[in-house]
Amino acid sequence: MRYISTRGEAPALGFEDVLLTGLATDGGLYVPESLPHFSVEEIRSWRGLPYAELAYKVMYPFVEDAIPADDFRKMLGETYSVFSHQAVAPLVQLDTNEWVMELFRGPTLAFKDFALQLLGRLLDYVLEKRKQHVVIMGATSGDTGSAAIEGCRRCEHVDIFILHPYQRVSEVQRRQMTTVQGDNIHNIAVKGNFDDCQRMVKESFGNQSFLGGKTQLAAVNSINWARIMAQIVYYFQASLALGGPDRSMAFSVPTGNFGDIFAGYLAKKMGLPISQLVIATNRNDILHRFMSGNKYEQHQLEHTLSPSMDIMVSSNFERLLFDLHGRDGAAVKDLLERAAKGPVSIEDYRWKHARKLFDSDAVDDKTTCDTIRDIYEKNEYLLDPHTAIGVRAARNCRRDSTVPMITLGTAHPAKFPDAIAESGLVVKPQLPAHMADLFEREERYTVLDNNVSEVQGFIAKHWKNA
């Protein structure tokens, strides 16, 4: 399988090169040249498979030119054996035909573990084969950083530099990143917001001269295709558990960077019956404003109780725009260049095509807290603020009550005690046993100004062979 850029100018690459490259040389994101498609009969035959085996069925077409089948099966078995629930992604029922899929059973208590536990093993495999070293540079609004560090910290051929917005992630999220010890692990707190961190990462991938030609950058953000690929699987898992593919499903997805919901869009294109995808956002609602009114316009970023979605520039949205524009890279490049200068819209027929599948909602902090309290009082089930936004958006946007609605539960509530407290509940979410001493562990991180040259200088000085 070959991968092409959403901007249409970079050369097509195989899986190994896409894994290591992240951002395309023309500034675009890599997507498969064509998608595998599974029949209803084939999907039905996967009922009852363990999660790792289902992951193999869904993902192997994307990597088969680069990784032998037995090696990939072994990798997947190791990846999902570290999750704390035998089902890996269990479903919890909230109401009639309403479910939460718990995607926080991995080692860092967030859905990012599904992709980043695998990404670390993929990098180890490919870099060992090539005898190559890379510098991982990533930006996090809260959860990607800890999941990336946990997934990649044992990799022999990488140094890890994770940027997070200073004082704009929860304390648990920060400590999950900054208490992991290792000479190859570096946490950078940037005096800015997540979009500033993400912009620095993209700029650095576009010009890697600060590394002196001695190594290259690798991406752990969802600009890396491998991240999206791994997230497709749990849409199939949820569907198969609830009667799919013989009945359609609806999904509500708390999302800031659009990667997790784009994976659902791909699952549908690959043959999974999905009738509705709900984009659930907080006050940073650029995706909702586009999907509800065909206006893509950046506003001032706001700090909320759901910090992992405090994002205004949704990188993976470019991948959807590429499809909406008939895979015309030049058109996507032109649109995004205009979007950087002011509000843009797309042709009405393209927007209406997107609206056939996608709905959206923006949920403020008060409604988020009300939802956390309401669900707990009725079910004794505690939602984190991001999942609460997903549940509220699902209820507000639901098209058909006979279709199962599944909200992706993206994080453990213990990561966001402030939101739980603000909801008025006296219950205090407890960290699982393997994190019980998190607040006693020593932290290590460096605070830097919101300046790309300063950040690049730090990385150039501190990677192991500098």
Radius of gyration of the chain (CA): 21
**Residue 132 main-chain phi, psi, to 5 deg:** -125, 150
**7 falls within a domain:** no
Structure confidence at residue 143 (pLDDT): 83
Report d(CA 356, CA 386) in Å as an integer.
Answer: 25
Q: What are the 10-residue block averages of pLDDT along the chain, 466 residues in total?
A: 97 96 92 98 98 98 97 98 96 98 96 95 94 94 89 90 95 95 94 94 94 92 93 98 98 96 98 98 96 95 92 93 98 95 96 97 98 97 98 98 98 94 93 92 97 97 81
| Cβ pair 412, 110 in contact under 8 A | yes
Output the pLDDT for position 62: 98
pLDDT digits (tens, 9 = 90+) for 74-105: 999 999 999 999 999 999 999 999 999 999 99
pLDDT of 466 reads 53
Range of the domain at 334: 88-108+227-422
Q: Domain containing 385 — which CATH number?
A: 3.40.50.1100
Sign, Cα dihedral of 209, 211, 213, 215: negative
> Could you read off the pLDDT of 109-152 as tens digits, one per residue?
999 999 999 999 999 999 999 999 999 999 998 788 999 999 99
Q: Is 395 within a domain? A: yes
Residue 303: the pLDDT is 92
Residue 64 included in any domain: no
In this structure, is residue 246 part of a structural domain? Answer: yes
pTM exceeding the 0.75 threshold for the entire prediction:
yes
CA distance 324 to 344: 15
Number of domains in the chain: 1
Q: Is residue 43 part of a domain?
A: no
Residue 240 placed within a domain? yes
In the prediction, which pLDDT does 332 show?
97
* Bridge partners (DSSP) listed for residue 447: 189
Distance of alpha carbon 309 from alpha carbon 140, whole angstroms? 10
Q: Between the CA of residue 277 and those of 75, 84, 358, 397, what are the distances in Å?
A: 30, 28, 5, 10
Q: For residues 383 and 391, is the Cβ–Cβ distance under 8 A?
A: yes
**Kind and range of the H or E element at 82?**
none
Residue 34 within a domain: no
Residue 329 inside a domain? The answer is yes
Angle subtended at Cα 192 by Cα 191 and Cα 193, rounded to the nearest 5 degrees: 140
Among the listed residues 112, 202, 333, 415, the single catalytic one is 112
> Rounded to an integer, what distance in angstroms lies between the CA atom of residue 100 and that of residue 406?
6
Q: What is the C-alpha separation between 343 and 158, in angstroms, rounded? A: 39
pLDDT, position 154: 85
Assess whether 74 carries a catalytic annotation.
no
Task: Tell me the average pLDDT of the chain.
Answer: 95
- Look-up of token digits 């959860």: 143
Smallest Cα–Cα separation from 54: which of 76, 23, 25, 83?
76
Residue 217: its H or E element:
strand 216-218
pLDDT at 464: 82
Contact in structure between 151 and 113 (CB atoms under 8 Å): yes
State pLDDT tens for residues 425-451.
Answer: 999 899 998 899 999 999 999 999 999
**Could you tell me the CA-to-CA distances from 435 to 108, 109, 420, 431, 459 in Å, in that order?**
9, 10, 19, 6, 29
Reduce the secondary structure of 343-391 to three states and give it as a string. Answer: CECCCHHHHHHHHCCEEEEECCHHHHHHHHHHHHHHHCCCCCHHHHHHH
Contact 137, 459 (CB under 8 A): yes
Q: How far is CA 356 from the centre of its chain?
A: 23
